[in-house]
């Protein structure tokens, strides 16, 4: 995928080179502009701050230090610039320059460098590190600190001396999970703090309920052990000292010791043994009807007014005729067993599960110590049980049958939610949706598409499985759910088709560590399709469409896995999604069902990366999908059914093309069609890159923009003589790839985001001239290439209206 993006970038840069020649000087002029407001009259003021790192420091470390040191300028010596409209900077009320303030900035930066392990940092001539520039009546001062940080202190070894045999053993066994790699890891306060946090988390997972960071201390020893060797010769001792000093300058090292802190305070010392004591799970109490304004501590001390359900070490308190939820629901989501050693991970998993069930809006807790046991009291405030909502959508963001790129669609959704069905925290969701699409083109009817759908589902907060299939250790899983969903829909595309569907599925969801799994078994889909005159006419000119538009039954197994994980830096997040579906492997082999059940297998893979900055972000996405029809029934043809095929274009895909208006490959069949031009394929490849930035903020509304590049296409797997070049072929891959570039505006209202994007077809596979590349010299907004074949004109651009970010 990386080589694929590189090819796209090279072709993209070559085709836009002439445009940049015209506009680059203007862009550089605007982006380099800094507007100064209310500068001190007749006095030099701080206009710019720079930090230059020199010395034997690698490139990434130089960049990191440069960025971090920018935060350590003294306020009286810092020019606080604010970016506006993504292209210029504004400097308001800059401070008067005074050389007396340089020493404070130097002191702050040295302290930071020391915290990062640079104890021999030197500043080159800080007292003469400034220059003046006169502009009109302004005297602008630029301050540039040139810093040689020297060699960073390396952690040579780490040891644990906690005054307790068990703690020392745990530390040594789990040392391999430490971020400190002796002889490699640079010393910094952050690294040491992370190691202390890891140790505390390790101990709190093994029963040390009261132990915190305050109970541990890290000792750093930079002394050279060779100096400890006793010698009576003063000259030899002096040579050793000189050699040790030289070694510290060339390769400074440190030994880190994690130890038990000895409190001098008498109160802390008296209870010191309690912090290093192991505790066990005692009794657990539930209060599932806690009011918003109830005080948990008062509820614990006054339980006389409650009814109760005691089961072994667990007790449920309630006041209504029936408990708000059954005891079993709470017990199944409690990861703490009486008598087990306290484990902080299981404690937080319990809290998270209660929060994610949906029946409560807030979860609180209290803990009470009894000798070596801990009792837990959970206070759960019920959420509003029933909710009725109405939602209007101006654009659909998925490739369903409602929206087309040449149409504008509106939908009204009515949703009813019950968060506690049958007093078991079972959630039911009912949605009734009605939508229409309008066309404002000449010779077209105003109303083009009508859709109506009704769906109803239940979410059970546990696994509902036969006994012999239940997982051996369900307590290793989080967010356990069982789902039952049913839906029915009716879609009519004027003069083309009427589609009726009925879908039902039973499935399971769970999370293990940072991977979210979902399985639907079975998934049953019934379809009935009426072809209308316009579609039948298209069958005559495009026979390959006939095999896509057929109806049958899907009885499939669906599965997906969603992995999210952070990058090396806190501002980077990654997401990987894998999905698969299979239909007909078993039932499709039964006589009498072979002509009714689709037989196919389908895979999808998606990767997303987000690099966030203070007022900007870079978003990357790569998607690949493929489906294979392995059935032998001629009625179903060799492609997937059209409601399972891939589509491209629209507000969340190739934004220079309307929804379902890209592909197949470089085939002209759909582009030269007089009316029906929707495309469906068995394979899709797509890559997207987007630079997002803030333009302005008005009260609670943020106005942003983005620059984006989209590349990809949709294909069929099998060649078709009625649609040449519609199948995927490695030899034709470069020609088939479509590329769009563009920009847009985003209006962020906190609760929702409205987006308008405009994309230009930089490379269109069906454009005959210039091998599909857009000619800047001969640019036109419309393409008239195939009008002589009776096809309508095609736009070289598309404007997309979307709700939410594209990915």
Residue 799 pLDDT exceeds 50: yes
pLDDT mean over 441-446: 60
Q: Identify whether 627 is part of a domain.
A: no
Beta strand 81-84 with 782-783 is unpaired
pTM of the model: 0.77
Which residues are CB-contacts of 762 (< 8 A; sequence separation ≥ 6)?
A: 12, 15, 16, 656, 739, 740, 741, 773, 774
Is residue 60 located within the same domain as residue 137?
Answer: yes
286 domain-assigned: yes
Is residue 174 situated within a structural domain? yes
Q: Tell me, yes or no, whether 164 lies in a domain.
A: yes
Distances 678 to 202, 403, 727 between C-alpha atoms, Å: 57, 11, 16
Q: Would you say 129 and 99 are in contact if contact means Cβ atoms under 8 Å apart?
A: no
Q: Which two tokens stand for residue 598?
A: 């689709």
Instruction: Verify that 210 and 241 share a domain, yes or no.
Output: yes
More confident residue, 592 or 486: 486
State mean pLDDT over 716-743.
89
185 and 238 share one domain:
yes
Q: Is residue 687 part of a domain?
A: no
| Per-residue tokens: 49 | 């701050």
Q: Are residues 218 and 250 in the same domain?
A: yes
Q: Which of 85-99, 323-337, 662-676 has the highest mean pLDDT?
A: 323-337
- pLDDT tens column, 685-704: 999 999 999 888 877 788 99
Domain of 90 in residue numbering reads as 34-148
- Inside any domain, residue 86: yes
Give mean pLDDT, residues 242-249.
54
Which two structure tokens, joined as six digits, stand for 637? 């043809």
Q: Which residues contact 358 (CB under 8 A, 6 or more apart)?
A: 383, 419, 425, 427, 459
Is residue 417 a contact partner of residue 427, using CB atoms and an 8 Å limit? yes
b/e burial code for range 756-786 (CB count within 10 A of at least 16 → b): ebebbbbbbbbbeeeebbbeeeeeeeebebb
Claim to verify: residue 271 and residue 290 sit in the same structural domain? no
Say yes or no to pLDDT of 163 above 80. yes
Q: Are residues 144 and 177 in the same domain?
A: no
How many Å apart are CA 298 and CA 317, to the nearest integer?
Answer: 14
Position 160 pLDDT exceeds 50: yes
Q: Taken in order 338, 340, 342, 343, is the CA torsion positive or negative?
A: negative
Cα 596 from chain centre = 40
The arithmetic mean of pLDDT across residues 8-26, rounded, is 40
User: pLDDT by residue (tens digit) across 193-234?
Assistant: 999 999 999 999 999 999 999 999 998 876 544 434 445 556
- DSSP secondary structure code for residue 138 in this structure: E
Neighbours of 495 (CB within 10 A): 15
* pLDDT tens for each residue of 29-87: 444 478 888 898 889 999 999 999 998 888 888 988 999 999 999 999 999 887 765 56
Residue 242 counted as domain residue: yes
Residues of the chain above pLDDT 70, percent: 83
- Given 125, 148, 171, the domain boundary residue is 148
In whole angstroms, how far apart are CA 454 and each of 52, 413, 429, 600?
63, 10, 11, 27
Same domain for 75 and 160, yes or no, is no
pLDDT surpassing 90 at residue 428: yes
Beta bridge partners of 693: 616, 705
- Residue 322's φ and ψ, nearest 5 degrees, are -120, 150
Q: Report the domain count for the chain.
A: 3
**What confidence tier does 404 reach under pLDDT thresholds 50, 70, 90?**
very low
Q: Hey, is 591 helix, strand or coil?
A: coil
What's the CA gap between 185 and 157, in Å, rounded? 10
Percentages helix, strand, coil for the chain (3-state, rounded to 5) are 25, 40, 35
Token pair, residue 366, equals 């209290």
- Report d(CA 496, CA 187) in Å as an integer: 69
- DSSP state at residue 728: -
- 739 pLDDT band, cuts 50/70/90, is very high
What CATH number is attached to the domain comprising 91?
Answer: 3.10.20.310
The reply to whether 284 falls in a domain is: yes
Verify that 290 and 205 share a domain, yes or no: no
Whether the link from the prior residue into 664 is cis, omega within 30° of 0, is yes
Q: How many CB atoms lie within 10 A of CB 108?
A: 16
- Based on the fold, state whether residues 173 and 144 are members of the same structural domain: no
CB atoms within 10 A of CB 327: 17
- Please say whether the beta carbons of 88 and 37 come within 8 A: no
User: Of 353, 382, 411, which marks where a domain is finished?
Assistant: 382
On the 0-12 / 13-18 / 19+ scale of CB atoms within 10 A, 702 is middle
Considering the domain architecture, whether residues 290 and 351 belong to the same structural domain is answered as yes
Examine the domain organization and report whether 113 and 42 are in the same domain.
Answer: yes
- Residue 399: which pLDDT band, with cuts at 50, 70 and 90? very low
Considering the domain architecture, whether residues 135 and 182 belong to the same structural domain is answered as no
Point out the domain boundary residue: 275, 299, 321. Answer: 275
């Amino acid at each position: 995928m990386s080589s694929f993006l590189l090819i796209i970038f090279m072709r993209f840069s070559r085709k836009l080179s002439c445009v940049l020649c015209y506009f680059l000087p203007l862009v550089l002029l605007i982006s380099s502009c800094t507007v100064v407001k209310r500068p001190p009259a007749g006095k030099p003021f701080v206009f710019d701050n720079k930090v230059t790192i020199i010395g034997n420091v690698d490139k990434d470390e130089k960049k990191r230090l440069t960025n971090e040191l920018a935060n350590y300028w003294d306020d009286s010596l810092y020019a606080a610039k604010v970016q506006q409209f993504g292209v210029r900077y504004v400097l308001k009320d800059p401070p008067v320059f005074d050389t007396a303030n340089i020493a404070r900035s130097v002191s702050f930066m040295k302290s930071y460098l020391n915290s990062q392990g640079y104890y021999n940092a030197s500043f080159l001539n800080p007292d003469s590190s400034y220059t003046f520039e006169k502009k009109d009546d302004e005297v602008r001062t630029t301050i540039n600190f040139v810093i040689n940080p020297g060699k960073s202190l390396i952690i040579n070894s780490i040891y644990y001396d906690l005054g307790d045999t068990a703690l020392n053993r745990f530390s040594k066994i789990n040392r391999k999970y430490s971020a400190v790699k002796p002889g490699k890891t640079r010393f910094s306060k952050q690294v040491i703090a992370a190691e202390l946090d890891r140790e505390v988390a390790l101990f709190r997972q093994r029963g040390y309920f009261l132990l915190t960071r305050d109970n541990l201390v890290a000792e750093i020893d930079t002394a050279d052990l060779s100096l400890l060797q006793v010698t009576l010769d003063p000259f030899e001792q002096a040579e050793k000292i000189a050699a040790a000093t030289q070694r510290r300058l060339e390769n400074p090292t440190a030994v880190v010791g994690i130890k038990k802190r000895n409190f001098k305070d008498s109160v802390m010392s008296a209870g010191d043994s309690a912090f290093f004591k192991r505790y066990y799970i005692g009794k657990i109490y539930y209060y599932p009807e806690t009011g918003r304004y109830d005080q948990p501590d008062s509820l614990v001390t006054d339980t006389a007014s409650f009814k109760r359900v005691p089961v072994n070490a667990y007790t449920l308190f309630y006041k209504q005729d029936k408990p708000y939820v059954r005891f079993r629901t709470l017990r199944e989501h409690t990861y703490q067993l009486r008598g087990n050693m306290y484990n902080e991970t299981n404690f937080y998993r319990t809290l998270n599960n209660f929060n994610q069930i949906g029946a409560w809006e807030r979860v609180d807790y209290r803990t009470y110590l009894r000798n070596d046991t801990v009792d837990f009291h959970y206070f759960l405030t019920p959420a509003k049980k029933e909710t009725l909502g109405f939602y209007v959508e101006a654009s659909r963001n998925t490739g369903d049958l409602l929206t087309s790129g040449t149409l504008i669609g509106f939908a009204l959704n009515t949703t009813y939610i019950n968060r506690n069905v049958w007093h078991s925290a079972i959630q039911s969701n009912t949605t009734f949706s009605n939508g229409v699409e309008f066309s404002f083109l000449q010779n077209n009817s105003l109303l083009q598409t009508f859709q109506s759908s009704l769906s109803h589902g239940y979410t059970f907060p546990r696994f509902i499985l036969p006994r012999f299939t239940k997982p051996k250790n369900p307590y290793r899983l989080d967010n356990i759910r069982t789902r039952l969903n049913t839906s029915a829909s009716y879609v009519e595309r004027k003069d083309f088709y009427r589609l009726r569907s009925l879908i039902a599925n039973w499935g399971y969801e769970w999370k293990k560590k940072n991977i979210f799994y979902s399985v639907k078994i079975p998934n049953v889909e019934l379809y009935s399709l009426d072809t209308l005159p316009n579609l039948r006419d298209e069958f005559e000119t495009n026979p390959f469409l006939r095999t896509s538009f057929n109806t049958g039954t899907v009885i499939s197994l669906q599965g997906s896995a969603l992995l999210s994980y952070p990058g090396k830096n806190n501002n980077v997040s990654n997401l990987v999604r894998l999905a698969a579906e299979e239909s007909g492997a078993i039932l499709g082999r039964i006589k009498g069902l072979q002509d009714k059940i689709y037989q196919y297998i389908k895979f999808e893979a998606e990767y997303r990366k987000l690099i966030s900055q203070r007022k900007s972000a870079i978003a990357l996405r790569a998607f690949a999908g493929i489906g294979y029809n392995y059935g032998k029934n001629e009625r179903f043809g060799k492609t997937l059914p059209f409601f399972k095929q891939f589509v491209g274009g629209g507000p969340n895909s190739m934004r220079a093309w309307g929804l379902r208006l890209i592909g197949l490959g470089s085939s002209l069949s759909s582009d030269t069609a007089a009316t029906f031009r929707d495309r469906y394929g068995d394979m899709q490849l797509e890559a997207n890159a987007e630079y997002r930035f803030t333009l302005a903020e008005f009260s609670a509304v943020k106005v942003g923009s983005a620059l984006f590049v989209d590349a990809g296409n949709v294909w069929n797997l099998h060649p078709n003589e009625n649609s040449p070049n519609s199948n995927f072929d490695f030899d034709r891959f470069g020609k088939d790839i479509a590329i769009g570039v563009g920009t847009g505006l985003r209006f962020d209202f906190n609760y929702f985001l409205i987006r308008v994007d405009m994309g230009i077809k930089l490379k269109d596979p069906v454009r005959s001239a210039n091998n599909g590349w857009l000619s800047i010299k001969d640019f036109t907004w419309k393409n008239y290439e195939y009008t002589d074949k009776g096809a309508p004109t095609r736009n070289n651009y598309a404007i997309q209206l979307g709700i939410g970010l594209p990915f």
